[in-house]
Amino acid sequence: MDKFDVKKAYRELYAPPAKDFVVVDVPELAYVAVDGHGDPNTSAAYAEAVEALFGVAYAVKFASRKELDRDFVVAPLEGLWRADDPATFVTRQKDAWSWTMMISQPDWITAGMVGAAVAATARKKDNPALAHVRLMSMVEGRCVQILHVGSYDDEAPTLERLHHRYLPEHGLTFNGDHHEIYLSDVRRTEPAKLKTVLRQPVKSA
How does pLDDT run across 147-164, given as a tens digit for each residue? 999 999 899 899 999 999
What's the rounded Cα separation, in Å, for the pair 88 and 84? 9
Is a pLDDT exceeding 90 seen at residue 1? no
CA 38 to chain centre: 16
Q: What is the mean pLDDT of the chain?
A: 94
Is a pLDDT exceeding 70 seen at residue 127? yes
Q: Are strands 22-37 and 98-105 parallel, antiparallel or unpaired?
A: antiparallel
Query: Residue 160 has what pLDDT?
Result: 92
As for how many domains the chain has, the answer is: 1
Query: CA of 200: how far to CAs of 14, 23, 63, 105, 141, in Å?
Result: 13, 10, 33, 21, 10
* Structural domain span for residue 150: 3-204
Q: What is the CATH number of the domain that holds 44?
A: 3.20.80.10
Query: Residue 71 has what pLDDT?
Result: 97
DSSP-H helix ranges across the chain: 6-9, 11-14, 44-63, 87-91, 111-124, 156-161, 167-169
Please answer whether residues 201 and 165 qualify as being in contact, where contact means their C-beta atoms are separated by less than 8 angstroms.
no
Query: Residue 93 has what pLDDT?
Result: 79
